[in-house]
Amino acid sequence: MKKLRYRLLDVFSKRAFGGNQLAVFADVPAISPEIMQSIAKELNLSETTFVLQPKDPANDYRVRIFTPATELPMAGHPTIGTSYVLALDHLAKHHEQIKTLNLEEGVGAIRVDIEWEADLPAFLEMSQPLPTFGSSFADAGAIGQMLSLRPEAITDTSLPLQVVSCGVPFLFVPVMDLQSIRAIRFRVDVWERVLRDFEASHVFVFTRETEVEGSTVHSRMFAPASGIGEDPATGGACGPLGCYLARYNVLPPGRLIEFVCEQGLEIGRPSFMRIRIEQNEVGEITAVRVGGRCHFMGEGHLEIED
């Protein structure tokens, strides 16, 4: 039997039982991707990560990310949480704090910057790939039906329904207010009909009205294709969200746009992500960064047959 140790974290939260849960297997023996997928399904968290030796020696580690249903090329809270574990492991082995990590993921190398308080990583920030803006989705009525909302809750924002990706594509859906976003009842049957085979199957809904002081955007994310009914915190969507908000001047323009996205409140797991978008003098996006805190919850192990 192989004994596989994992650490359990709440990511994008500074307290227990908030944020998005993550299991990190940081010292992985030779196991197949099929076993990794089975472990992710067994744990049934939004994501589970496995740390391997990098293919490119310029990187520090290779990280594979699995939802209960599929492997992802990149994701936010798994990158942040895995970096938290790796930073602590490095401190324990080498008695020094590391300030950066380069993680090899499916989209390439992802840089993570780490700020420390005493002997704990206090804030971690990942740099995401620059955005690609994809298709618009013209049928607000179909999206309203999928969310159990009147189409006017979407169209009255005067903002487009558009796909944006910084590694993983999401369909961004603006809604008018908190009342509307709280009222969402996601209909998988409608999603199957209108979005399963669309350019982006993940749905990120947001409003400028917020619940918590200091937040700028309130959001919810639905990803049935990945086996996730509703995600408590989606760092991989917050980068492209910032790019969307910058392109359509939803936030005040500038060389640096910085804001906080709150998520997970409807499902009892409040999460907070800090987003920073840098632009040049002609408004081209030059950097996309998403960061937050982690809370260590515990550890355990699984026994897997050889």
CB 136 within 8 A of CB 160: yes
SS3 299: strand
Domain spanning 132-290, CATH class: alpha beta
211 is catalytic: no
pLDDT at 306 over 80: no
- The pLDDT assigned to 129 comes to 96
pLDDT at 305 over 90: no
Q: How confident is the model at residue 29 (pLDDT cuts 50, 70, 90)?
A: confident
Mean pLDDT of the chain: 96
Amino acid, res. 252 = P
- The pLDDT assigned to 133 comes to 98
Whether pTM > 0.85 for this model: the answer is yes
- Sign of dihedral through CA atoms 78, 83, 84, 88? positive
Domain spanning 2-128+293-304, CATH class: alpha beta
Q: How confident is the model at residue 90 (pLDDT cuts 50, 70, 90)?
A: very high
Q: How confident is the model at residue 28 (pLDDT cuts 50, 70, 90)?
A: confident
Q: Which of 34, 42, 47, 125 is catalytic?
A: 47
Q: What is the pLDDT of residues 223-277, one digit of tens each?
A: 999 899 999 999 999 999 999 999 999 999 899 999 999 999 999 999 999 999 9
Domain ranges of the chain: 2-128+293-304, 132-290
Q: What is the pLDDT of residues 186-211, one digit of tens each?
A: 999 999 999 999 999 999 999 999 99
pLDDT at 1 over 90: no
Q: 59 vs 24, 55, 273, CA distance in Å? A: 18, 8, 25
SS3 119: coil
Is the fold of 2-128+293-304 the same as that of 132-290? yes
